[in-house]
Amino acid sequence: MGGKITAAFVNGVQSEGIGATIKHFVANNSETNRTALNTIVSERALREIYLKGFKIAIDESNPWAIMSSYNKINGIYASENEDLLTKLLRDEWGYEGFVMTDWFAGRDAVAQMIAGNDLLMPGTNLQYNAILEAVKSGKLDETILDRNIGKILKQYFKTFSFNKYVPTNKPDLEANKIIARNAAAEGMVLLQNNKALPINKDTKVALFGVTSYETIAGGTGSGDVNKAYMTSVFEGLKGADFKFDNSLTSDYEVYIKEEKAKIPPKKMFFEKDILVPEKKWTEEELSALASNNDVAIFTLGRTSGEFQDRVLEGDFNLTQDEVLLIKNLSDAFHAKNKKFIIVLNIGGVIETQSWKHFADAILLAWQPGQEAGNAIADILFGNINPSGKLPVTFPVTLTDIPSTKNFPGNVIDPKAPKPNSPLMGVPSQEIYEEGIYIGYRFFDAFNVESSYPFGFGLSYTTFDYSDLNILQDGDDITVSCSVKNTGNTDGKEVIQLYVKSALGLVEKPEKELKGFAKTELLKVGESQTIVIKTNVKDLGYYNTVSHAWTLDAGRYDFMVASHSKAIKLNKEISLDARIIETTQLLMSPQVEIKELSRN
């Protein structure tokens, strides 16, 4: 999934003549101490999970550049790793673009040059002098620098600046706003709906939650952009002519202004934003507000930064004040036979199992950019029927996820002094003991219940799946089915293709996602034939004994689903055993990993 989405994004960017850089290559999954973290991962997990998305993106979009990651991979920094950047990326995969470091990454500029890390960012005098001295002493062959510079220049020759393009400085901002608004709405996920959504404009709204008024557009650090404007949930609903409890909104505006004045400015741009704590309300105040309004909407916000990972309490888990407010809002409005809606303005998974029953509807809006409020209003009002699906699993508890045992890594010497700059991490290691069992692969294989499964997402309408066909032409496999809108509202559906592999000597996930597609906007009663293509080569596993992508003989079950736990259609085909591709032994761990197993 990550590879397909990345490829689509890169193709869009590069269709405008602008180069895209994909990152961080590879296995940079922890922020804590990431500049000094040793990722210890098996060959199979590295190949099947962490490298696979990059391979798909490269094959399907050919990005101009790749950014190597801060971390070590089985003992060697990614930016200094010749196995990764030359033997695998260039020799095995055939990538022809250039590689840049993350900012100030690695420790040895000469090793980075030899490895195939063409561009050092942002570049320092220390690196310059080290490279120059290595060339003079004969430690670094000048032909390596020529090679690296050649790869950079090859892409530079494509740029607007080299080709003396003169920009108009007149972008179509209004058209861009529409694109941003629609993109935000398309990705929102309706998690729950008990006849609460959509709401009509005659409804008087009691709008609760700090992030209803201070809506989060996106992440901080490298995930942040300089925004010309930002539309909050309040502003979006107001622009859609919703009716508000003006005294409530005034109370929030005063409260937020007072609380923000107490928050000190950030020391560095990539630090996590400190959010204003939720305003407390008495049960009597909420009862009065429930009497004077038709529906309550509460927006819950979360944010994060670079070089630090999220934490359990007050981040993944809600605070006691947040849970109490949700419960009291539910009680107050349900006592008056009125609905209670929650909007999640978050960038990652949070705990939902313990409180979701309090809400009549839950809309996962994510951190949807500058047009956030307008896009949320489009969904709440019903101008757009939600069609997003979860790209992650929402667990019941954090400990249900096996990687939490080692995440975000362990400091090798707990007594080591902490550096002043977060850019300089403390030497640590993180062992990927979960192996290939991450996300839905784990939840499926070990029959662990989730709060919301991978691929889940509701709609204001319903869909029927039929007429599954599988056509095999050599190694190419084409899967098609018909999807019909059987409800009362026009809408879109995301069709997901999973494949259960034949049994073999090596254990495998219960099933794996092999493709997905979204329908056009289907009118009530309208059908569309959806086609998803895959390849026999995508159905194999990585054999760490033979160091080869391998296909087992047997029956392969192709399953068309609306989410990972809702299989609509399935059909089996038989495939013969074969070696798909033999590779080199690269980046193998130097220590034994006790990987999670069903056996």
* Rounded CA separation 102/78 (Å): 10
3-class secondary structure for 187-220?
HCEEEEECCCCCCCCCCEEEEECHHHHCCCCCCC
Q: Are 337 and 290 in contact (CB under 8 A)?
A: no
| Residue pair 519/492 in contact by the 8 Å Cβ criterion | yes
Q: What are phi and psi of 167, to 5 degrees?
A: -70, 150
Task: Count how many residues are written for the chain.
Answer: 599
Compute how many other C-beta atoms are within 10 angstroms of the C-beta atom of residue 57.
Answer: 24
Q: What angle do CA 256, 258, 259 make, to 5 degrees?
A: 65
Residue 358, phi then psi, degrees to nearest 5: -75, -25
For residue 462 the two structure tokens come to: 């319903």
How far is Cα 232 from Cα 345, in angstroms, rounded to an integer?
11
Residue with tokens 């007429």: 467
- Nearest alpha-carbon partner for 548 in 503, 581, 502: 581
Sheet of 65-68, strand order? 21-25, 65-68, 98-100
Say if CB 34 and CB 40 are below 8 A apart. Answer: no
Q: Which of 560, 491, 558 lies closest to 519 in space, CA to CA?
A: 491
Place of tokens 């570049």: 123
Q: What is the DSSP string of 472-485?
A: EETTEEEEEEEEEE
**Residue from 83, 102, 294, 444 carrying the catalytic annotation:** 102
Task: Enumerate helices (H) and strands (E) in the chain, giving the number of each.
Answer: 15, 26
Residue 46's H or E segment, with its range, is none
Residue 157 CA to residue 159 CA, distance in Å, equals 6
Contact in structure between 38 and 72 (CB atoms under 8 Å): yes
Token pair in block for residue 551: 């296909």
What distance in Å separates the CA atoms of residue 340 and residue 344, rounded to the nearest whole number?
13
Contact (Cβ atoms closer than 8 angstroms) between residue 186 and residue 369: no
**Residue 60: strand, helix, or coil:** helix
Which 3 state secondary structure label does DSSP give 61? helix
Task: Give catalytic status of residue 102 as yes or no.
Answer: yes
Q: How far is CA 379 from CA 168, 184, 326, 385, 390, in A?
A: 35, 10, 21, 6, 16
Is residue 30 within 8 A of residue 431, CB to CB? The reply is no
Do the beta carbons of residue 177 and residue 239 sit within 8 Å? no
The tokens for 514 are 């092999």
Tally Cβ neighbours within 10 Å of residue 567. Answer: 17
Q: Classify 530 as helix, strand or coil.
A: strand
Q: Specify the residue for token string 């607007």.
A: 160
Tell me which residues are annotated as active site: 102
